[in-house]
Amino acid sequence: MRLLLLAFGLLVSLVPVVYAADSARAAKSGTLNLKSAAALVVEQDGQQVLFAKNVETVLPIASITKLMTALVVLDAKLPLDEHIFISKEDAIGAKRTRSRLQAGNEIARGDLLRLALMASENRAAAALARSYPGGKQVFVAAMNHKAVELGMWRTRYVDSTGLSSENVSTAQDLARLVAAAYSQPLIREYTTGYTYTVEIGKGRSLSFSNSNRLVKNSEWEIGLSKTGYISEAGRCLVMQAKIATTPVIIVLLDSWGKLTRIGDANRIKRWIESNSSRRPAG
């Protein structure tokens, strides 16, 4: 059975790339010194690895988890206009973080999905799992099943928010997740919006902003974005972006400095643009 699952995962993998263990083997000309503990840059279309650092190291992934949460919700084809109440259970599950959503708020499932992706709202992600047919345990089982389906062999989920450090993956696996998530138009839209105002019931509303400030930067052309942070994971960032006309997937894990993941992303952008300018015309 294990061999059958392995073969299936290889067939359906959206990023069937052999990742270089040594970044020097994958890099183009020039030096790219990233501060993130694990990093991967891969051409989305050509499947060529541009940079790889500790891509098979298993690490906590924090709210990068929410990309899988979104895939499971969309796979189930649940009505996005159905209204869901935030419960005390959702608040308890996300007690480690601040949230502007309160028990009793009534929000459409589609808006919960948008808040979970754009603003990394933990109570929104918790409510999505709780309201799933069969509840949270069935939802988490679906997350792990989807990971196997995508060939994410070193990935494990225990909750929908990423607040647990037991949600783990590798840069290699997360590139597959980003590719799968990018195939969903709603995920592309929800992860790259600047701000959004959501109705929470009784005529009240709240406005939220994107947790990745790069989506507001006119120098970036970002097609998908997700940030993550818990102390055990450091600061994480995954993106799909077009740099120097090349669509790429970027995975940055365990960046401990507050601005390190943004700095690494900008270093990657300048590095790709610099190397692209050296290519001979024609």
Give yes or no: 146 in active site. Answer: no
Give yes or no: 95 in active site. Answer: no
Tokens of 177: 């997740």
Q: Degrees (nearest 5) of the Cα angle 225, 33, 47?
A: 50
Phi and psi, residue 178, nearest 5°: -60, -40
Amino acid at 77: K
Task: Return d(Cα 76, Cα 70) in angstroms, integer.
Answer: 10
- How far is residue 5 CA from its own chain's centroid? 24
Q: Which residues pair with 53 in a beta bridge?
A: 39
Give yes or no: 226 in active site. Answer: no
Active-site residue, from 23, 36, 53, 63: 63
Token pair 């959501």 in the structure block, residue = 198
The SS3 call for residue 258 is coil
Tokens of 166: 């037991």
CA distances from 249 to 96, 137, 188 (A): 30, 31, 13
Instruction: State the pairing for strand pair 38-43/49-53.
Output: antiparallel
Which residues fall within 8 angstroms of residue 41, CB to CB, at 6 or more apart? 49, 50, 51, 52, 248, 249, 250, 251, 268, 272
Active-site residue, from 23, 36, 53, 120: 120
Task: Return d(Cα 277, Cα 130) in angstroms, integer.
Answer: 50
Token pair 């692209």 in the structure block, residue = 276
Amino acid at 217: N
Active-site residue, from 53, 66, 136, 269: 66
> DSSP secondary-structure letter at 64?
G
Residues marked as catalytic: 63, 66, 120
